[in-house]
Structure 1
């Protein structure tokens, strides 16, 4: 039995489960989507929560600019460019015989400073939130001070008595490890089997303790959580359930609104915004989607895109069982080159919060990810890691009109030899 039903009963009630079991590319559209006005009062988080997170990031901006010179041009604000893809739509039509109805943009979180992935938004934010909390309690800072003070021996000594812990497929661990070590925290990252070696090596270079697991993401998170609970000075950053992490991602919507205005891109119900978000456990894309729905209300449609071998959020949201089901329950192997999305069990917190807000979820094969990875470099000279192509595929799967934004996840920090191997994959 799986939960309270047999596999046959699950498939009879939700026929798309058979397509998932067969690793077929699948599209699920959410019949339970509701107007934002009708669900706002029932949501666990609010617009004020997002604005509070944005204000905190602004307080830390002088510190970020000081210790990470690559952020100086943006005055310590961690954000990425919005790039129109002028040639990629033709490449997509050639590859898949499907047109994108409307302009296609890439939100280039592959270029986010400090850690080069979407996880720089949430992971870095939660570490800063925790650091601020400790410093305020210790009387070392007030919210009216210049936060450049965080780069001092007094603060580093204070933080050295605390440990940050998380479980990660790679990118979240990089974000937490880089900012945590910079502030002076002890950091332990539990890395799942699919995490890339270069990410583990980079973390160790930063002085981070990396614990390798011969199992998938869920087991790495479980071990990290258990270890952290045994130490009163340890703080566990939970990609599955953290509201703080979630809000760090949600701030992206405020930044995107300003970029759309700067580029004179109109967003309303007649010219909707369609956003396609690569999805693993759901924290990153869920936070961004929540922010987008809060800012743009019913004028934005948000879609998640997962690998065919790791469709945990689709399974959870389609059945409304969320984290009570895993893809392994149905025999899927959770093996994908899209390592950042290799998750077998989704976040129940994210699934429940967004069950009336997400427009749909689709899956994409690794073969198609590599074809698009090669195509976007050949046509736009943009280097992405496999996970980062999932959103682009969503733009042709959903067949919507309006303005399309594929959200990139990572790629800028991928070593040249590793990226070259990715590039050659679709050639072979």
Structure 2
């Protein structure tokens, strides 16, 4: 869910400022918006377009591809893409909680193998869905053929006649690109000209073609979507409107459930699970939320976290779902150090999915992101990019805003999103809280 501001759009707010958006949000102040639309899980889930059976089918597809993934990527000995669940030490957990009760765990998707970010869950999965369909059509996957066969020259010739395209400023594009190039697809990543130069270099190094666009992330996605519409030799990964991406993210809930059980963590009404999820366009946190709700029901409470300058999901949910609304419409400029969360307009697909499911949306300042990034590096050895620190900055404000009684036996899971592949120079800039590198190469 990457994006950068469109200066032309950010000059002035929309003349008709949407109702329902809190004044503090419009002023760019840190805010906790407790979701007034939250409903019991049993009432909300049956109306969703994605069911438990759909998520289980996605999980089964991941398992079918494990032999292929193990063959293609040395770091995937088992073929499974997952991250560790780490407990924070008591002193660090106390700082995160600010005196509230409970334990704090980190779902360390910043350490995900292959891509080093949460986008592997959705981006890699959607490429696998497309590859499976092409392979079946070409007769490469009969009843006796294993999926590892798709690494062989015959399959690569089939895939090489097709292009996988995506709009991104980095992490999603890299996740899609790594998987697609490993299978032999041509890859196009459509990006804003303001995207970071090191992310463009990284994409070109894996053989992806980088196509630059004026404007923000949304402009790049829209241009790519139009360019690839109707092409039989190509597949466009639509970060704003893809159920396959959503399902790839949703399967992560099964990994977390298994890890919590292995750690002896109980999740029920008396032992609630709070999960803090950085949010850009919404696909990753939305998918994870739906998966967790399907597994834990009302015992899990999900909180989205966004930068104060780019709270696109909060703005959309607060304004209502009758029409799309952007952060520019409420006078915000979409400029933040958390470039992975700098999105002006939320996915309406995801907004409709999560409207009654999430507990709250919290907005956090760039100063808070940098402060937590430094603290977590020095105190816990977590090497994060600014976007991935967002969840930690939201815990105390959310618990303060939560109506009493404050749950003392809660488990808090902060989901990180990226950082393992951040170049050392960029990580040092983030530690200093200094400006990101110039966009131009």
TM-score by length of structure 2 reads 0.90
Q: Quote the residue 1:349 is aligned against.
A: 349
Say how many residue pairs are matched: 414
Measured after TM superposition, the shift of residue 124 of structure 1 is: 0.1
Tell me if structure 2 keeps the 8 A contact 1:315–1:322. no
Q: Take 2:219 and 2:254, find their aligned partners in 1: how far apart are those partners?
A: 34
Q: Quote the residue 1:55 is aligned against.
A: 60
Of 33, 36, 41, which residue of structure 1 is paired with 2:46?
41
Aligned residue for 1:71, secondary structure, equals: coil
Unaligned runs of 5+ in 2: 1-12, 400-405, 436-441
Q: Quote the residue 1:3 is aligned against.
A: none
Determine whether 1:88 maps to 2:100: no
Q: Quote the residue 2:33 is aligned against.
A: 28
The farther-off stretch of 119-128 and 27-36 is 27-36
**CA deviations over 1:311-349 (Å, ceiling 9, x no partner):** 000000112137611111122111111011010000000
Q: Take 1:84 and 1:225, find their aligned partners in 2: how far apart are those partners?
A: 41
Determine whether 1:69 maps to 2:77: no
Measured after TM superposition, the shift of residue 369 of structure 1 is: 0.1
Q: 1:203 to 1:8 in 2, by over 3 A?
A: closer
Aligned residue for 1:379, secondary structure, equals: helix
TM-score by length of structure 1 reads 0.93
Q: 1:372 to 1:357 in 2, by over 3 A?
A: same
Q: Take 2:270 and 2:263, find their aligned partners in 1: how far apart are those partners?
A: 18
Q: Take 1:329 and 1:60, find their aligned partners in 2: how far apart are those partners?
A: 43
Q: 1:219 to 1:426 in 2, by over 3 A?
A: closer
Which structure carries more helix by proportion?
1
Aligned residue for 1:114, secondary structure, equals: coil
Tell me if structure 1 keeps the 8 A contact 2:188–2:208. yes
The farther-off stretch of 392-401 and 312-321 is 392-401
Q: 1:148 to 1:406 in 2, by over 3 A?
A: same
Aligned residue for 2:75, secondary structure, equals: helix
Q: Take 1:323 and 1:169, find their aligned partners in 2: how far apart are those partners?
A: 25
Unaligned runs of 5+ in 1: 1-5
Tell me if structure 2 keeps the 8 A contact 1:310–1:327. yes
Q: 1:178 to 1:322 in 2, by over 3 A?
A: farther
Q: 1:197 to 1:323 in 2, by over 3 A?
A: farther
Q: 1:144 to 1:106 in 2, by over 3 A?
A: farther
Q: Quote the residue 1:361 is aligned against.
A: 361
- Please show how residues 28-427 of structure 1 align to structure 2 within 5 Å: 28-72=33-77, 75-86=78-89, 87-92=91-96, 98-142=98-142, 145-229=145-229, 231-321=231-321, 324-399=324-399, 401=407, 402-425=410-433
Bigger RCO of structures 1 and 2 (CA < 8 A, at least 6 apart)? 2
The farther-off stretch of 211-220 and 275-284 is 211-220
Measured after TM superposition, the shift of residue 426 of structure 1 is: 7.4
Q: Take 1:143 and 1:288, find their aligned partners in 2: how far apart are those partners?
A: 32
Tell me if structure 2 keeps the 8 A contact 1:100–1:395. no
Q: Take 1:258 and 1:371, find their aligned partners in 2: how far apart are those partners?
A: 32
Aligned residue for 1:328, secondary structure, equals: helix
